[in-house]
Amino acid sequence: MRGLASIWTRSIACQQYRVLTPLAASETARALCRTPQSRPSRHHGLRLGAMSTSSQQPATSSGPDASSGGIRLTQLSHGGGCGCKIAPAKLQEILRGVQLDFGSPDLLVGASTSDDAAVYRLTPDLALILTTDFFMPIVDDPRDFGRVAAANAISDVYAMGGRPVLALSVLGAPVSVLPAEVIGAVLEGGAETCRRAGIPLAGGHSIDTPEPLFGLVVAGVAPPHHIRRNSTARAGDVLLLSKPLGVGACTTALKKGRLDRQGYEEVLATMTRLNTLGLRVATDPRVHAMTDVTGFGLLGHLLEVCRGSGLAGRLAGGAVPLLGPAAELARAGVLPGAVKRNWESYGGSVRLQPGVQPWLRDLLCDPQTSGGLLLAAEESAVADLQRLAEEEAR
């Protein structure tokens, strides 16, 4: 999928938040764009885009890239990608009672709404956007790891409607285990993505760690009125998603040697694609809220939108786009541990309609690394947003 999929029928003004409802075979939700491989199929009463129609079992992965010297980076860590995030419930427990800011009038976006980045007003016409994101390897190839981690970090600036301007690296590596050229390839992959985004990788910090990790600190800028938060959706908005789900399932399969080369190329293309669409749509006043879908899964980040906006939503499960191997892997139980942790953290705030299959629920909780943008916009904006998404995909 290289465009936008409409996955929300409407947002609904509500005082409580226990009404996120995936709808089986909803006719009002429509998939707006799919890749040539994404053919809609009917399974278990749900219409799913970007779904594999093959019954063939996933083939064994082709193994680590030669540039890693035969070392599988994913075997050096207990988790990978945004699936490493602390579970939402545990994070709330940690942050309870912690005062993170002192209420500066120029701090336009802080920690209170779980937004993607902090925003600080420098002048009436210019705001600074700051974010950091890093994680352990989600793929074995060191250059690909660097590319994915950098795209994931830069995405937070795009998700706020900003233009990235500068990055610093955050690097941890077991230097007694990994050769210098492998560690250097991680950094080069990150620098490559920064070049694609048009920003310098201007330095950073590195430490000797038991497990590899990499990410960026990213600074961006935007006019304050272009900032898009995750807490400003409006009743009646349509929800749009710019990338398919299933990254966590696919990368778990990779770690287990159950993802073939085609599946790897598909998930890698998704994770390394920059969310530059966010910068373009932020100029449209009909786009009311925006975030990116990462470690808490689609349901978790949608719940943040609903809670922050004082709304509830009805999610059309049949319109949610999936990576080609994702449904097959989820039905086989090939999923990261974060799926269970995510559902345990927020499942009490979600009501599933009868007939929604467990594998689909799991994919709605699947942690995405460098996931897509989630937009809440007026229905009148959908055609224009789709046009922009198609231009970005060229």
Q: Which residues face 118 on adjacent strands? A: 130
- Indicate which residue of 33, 82, 306, 365 is catalytic: 82
Query: Which DSSP state fits 36?
Result: T
| Alpha-carbon dihedral sign for residues 226, 227, 231, 237 | positive
Q: CA-CA distance, 344 to 353, in Å (whole number)?
A: 18
Q: CA-CA distance, 175 to 212, in Å (whole number)?
A: 9
Length, in residues, of the chain: 394
Q: In what order do the strands lie in the sheet with 287-292?
A: 287-292, 373-377, 238-241, 5-13, 311-315
372 vs 3, 28, 114, 153, 384, CA distance in Å?
10, 22, 17, 13, 18
Instruction: Report which of 147, 144, 176 is spatially closest to residue 76, judged by C-alpha positions.
Output: 176
- For the chain, give me the number of helices (H) and strands (E)? 11, 13
Q: Where are the strands (E) in 174-285, listed by range?
A: 201-208, 213-222, 238-241
Annotation says 82 is catalytic: yes
Q: CA-CA distance, 242 to 323, in Å (whole number)?
A: 12
Question: Active-site residues: which are they?
Answer: 82
